[in-house]
Structure 1
């Protein structure tokens, strides 16, 4: 039982790693009790130069049969040369190898919606004026096709 006296809200932009770990650990335990096995694993694909330094790539995770793409970035010099498609395909292939059947992500109207559409993603939702003057676009793809 948590004593209710002395509780205080503490907003921060510099969280303690242990505090973050507590929230994540407890949410995972909650999810495991009520749903499928919680099998979340990071999935990143880095594009590396000849010296082995990351020059771009994608970050995300897999869980419950889904690939969740978070951040995808390539420098301007590597765009329009097919590298983006190869990075995305590598992430999707690894996700399929992990048993994923679908992928989802969000992008913004000033980012890469058309790139994802060319690679089979479809829009399933939008948030208008987020950020102001633009929209957030939620997309998904069936990886079993």
Structure 2
């Protein structure tokens, strides 16, 4: 379907497109910065490796306007009882503070780790239903002050 105005356009779907993702990130960052005045968007990661260089666990996220967002946090199954999740989370929170953040957001499916985050001071702010298996996406917040 072509709109009645403007140039012809092609709509495509498929797997994640790295170039598209980079462009959308740049465009939305510019839009968000113009709307809020916050210019300090950055990415964040914490990585733990064992003596062999294999990944034990890690975290990825972002910081922007005094807010830290955790995207992914994972610990290898054989290392989950060793406290690495807490150490990784605390390292990310400390890095967020260093960057001037005073709050953190994260979401976790009900079958993942919302209780883990709650044990570390995060409070539930809402849920999104519709996750496969009858689960929900739990949204959590923590003040770093």
Asked whether the two chains share a fold, i.e. TM above 0.5, the reply is yes
Contact 2:44/2:63 (<8 A) preserved: yes
Taking structure 1 as the reference length, what is the TM-score of the superposition? 0.88
- Paired position in structure 2 for 1:73: 74
Distance 1:58 1:100 in 2: 17
Q: Distance in 2 between matches of 1:51 and 1:22?
A: 36
What are the equivalent positions in structure 2 for 1:1-145 lying under 5 Å apart?
Answer: 4-15=6-17, 17-144=18-145
CA–CA separation in structure 2 for the residues paired with 1:84 and 1:20: 28
Structure 1 runs, 4 residues or longer, greater than 4 Å off: none
Q: 1:33/1:108 Cα in 2 relative to 1: closer, same or farther (>3 Å)? A: same
TM-score for the superposition, normalised by structure 2: 0.88
Structure 2 gap segments, 5+ residues each: none
Q: Distance in 2 between matches of 1:73 and 1:138?
A: 17
Q: Mean alpha-carbon deviation: is it higher for 52-61 or for 118-127?
A: 52-61
CA contact (8 A) 2:38 2:64 kept: no
Cα deviation, 1:46-83, whole Å, max 9, x if unaligned, reads 11111344321111111111110011111111112211
Q: What runs of 5+ residues in structure 1 fail to find an aligned partner?
A: none
Q: Secondary structure at the match of 1:137?
A: strand
Between the aligned partners of 1:20 and 1:57, the Cα distance in structure 2 is 22
Q: Specify whether residues 129 and 37 from structure 1 end up closer, same or farther in structure 2 by C-alpha distance, changes over 3 A only.
A: closer
Q: 1:13, 1:95 → 2: CA distance?
A: 31
How far apart are the structure 1 equivalents of 2:102 and 2:16?
36
Q: Distance in 2 between matches of 1:41 and 1:65?
A: 11
